[in-house]
Amino acid sequence: MVATPIGNPGDISARALQVLEEVDLIACEDTRRTGQLLAAHGLRKQLLSHYEHNEGRRVPDLVERLGRGARIALVTDAGTPAISDPGYRLVRGALDAAIVVKAIPGPSAAIAALSIAGLPTDRFVFEGFLPTREGALRKELEGLSGQPRTMIFYEAARRLGGSLATMASIFGQEREAAVMRETTKIYEETVRGSLGELAARFETTEALGEITIVVAGAGGGNEATRAAQAVTVDMLLEEGVSLKQASAIVARLTGRRRREVYQEGLKKRSQG
């Protein structure tokens, strides 16, 4: 499993080039793109297309070749194989056949974005690409509204503004986030702010290129934000705030849905 550059061609490692030179076959998403990468480093190798829509029929053949002693490298168009790209099925098939699989680590857009987002990095989740349909998008984000860990998403540039607006409506307008565009490339850009601010910006400003979104988890962000999100419905009720108002306040601080918080409060009240 050989990681390749996500933009800047200088990011390929010496070990990756050595492995690509030594293997018998390179399975890749796009033979033309991989061919260009190899040519830039003076390499010529047998290439075999291996992408999302033919992976199912390619895996048995590749595993059979591996079983006969062939040395095969898997690369994708950019970044680390199997991370929102083809690769998992081949790895699983090889492991099931007792074939050794090795990682040649390197670039990953998700990790690159996380490292410069300015959000907590000790615990995080990678969610990959979001659903394209609004209903499915809202359902997925609602399921993540209470996620305490930093979240990483990939998104198409044309959908960025709409997806950020939906995130802001579900996670809360003030939830911290960062948008990375064209990471490691010439026009690399990182924009940080609240989800509300980012949604407003990218609804009126066209985004181009590859996009990664990093969003603070519920309770994430800076110390002031975490302290504010420590406020609970029970604490507010003790101060004389109504359940409806308390639910609205907690929902805004944590990015959770107000109805969800309100229902939890009702349940606690009935049990108390």
- Distance, CA of 153 to CA of 59 (rounded, Å): 28
31: CB partners within 8 A, 6+ apart: 47, 48, 49
What are the tokens at 42? Answer: 């003076």
- Per-residue pLDDT at 198 exceeds 60: yes
Q: What is the pLDDT of residue 252?
A: 67
Q: What is the pLDDT of residue 256?
A: 63
Q: What is the mean pLDDT of residues 40-67?
A: 96
- Per-residue pLDDT at 255 exceeds 70: no
Pairing between β-strand 211-215 and β-strand 176-181 as defined by DSSP bridges: antiparallel
- Per-residue pLDDT at 230 exceeds 60: no
Lowest-pLDDT choice from 65-74, 208-217, 249-258: 249-258
- Residue 220 pLDDT level (bands cut at 50, 70, 90): low
- Residue 186 pLDDT level (bands cut at 50, 70, 90): very high
Q: Which residue has the higher pLDDT, 12 or 250?
A: 12
- Residue 86 pLDDT level (bands cut at 50, 70, 90): very high
- Distance, CA of 190 to CA of 201 (rounded, Å): 13
Q: Which residue has the higher pLDDT, 225 or 238?
A: 238
- Residue 258 pLDDT level (bands cut at 50, 70, 90): confident
- Per-residue pLDDT at 59 exceeds 80: yes
- Per-residue pLDDT at 141 exceeds 60: yes
- Per-residue pLDDT at 182 exceeds 50: yes
What are the tokens at 49? Answer: 């297309």
103: CB partners within 8 A, 6+ apart: 1, 3
- Per-residue pLDDT at 151 exceeds 60: yes
- Per-residue pLDDT at 138 exceeds 80: yes
What whole-number percentage of the chain has pLDDT above 70?
93
Q: What is the pLDDT of residue 67?
A: 97
- Per-residue pLDDT at 229 exceeds 60: no
Q: What is the mean pLDDT of residues 41-65?
A: 96
Q: What is the pLDDT of residue 14?
A: 97
Judge: domain 9-96, CATH 3.20.10.10.
no
Q: How far is C-alpha 45 from the geometric centre of its chain's CA atoms?
A: 31
User: What residue segments make up the domains of the chain, in order of their start?
Assistant: 9-96, 109-220, 231-271
* CATH class of segment(s) 109-220: alpha beta
Q: What is the pLDDT of residue 44?
A: 95
- Distance, CA of 164 to CA of 198 (rounded, Å): 7
Angle, vertex CA 158, rays to CA 155 and CA 163, nearest 5: 55
Calculate the average pLDDT of the chain: 91
- Distance, CA of 84 to CA of 36 (rounded, Å): 22
Q: What is the pLDDT of residue 226?
A: 47
Q: Which residue has the higher pLDDT, 186 or 236?
A: 186
Q: What is the mean pLDDT of residues 133-152?
A: 94
Burial of residue 23 (CB within 10 Å: 0-12, 13-18, 19+) is middle
223-228 LR contacts (CB < 8 Å, sep 24+): 225/176, 228/253
Q: What is the mean pLDDT of residues 218-243?
A: 67
- Per-residue pLDDT at 42 exceeds 80: yes
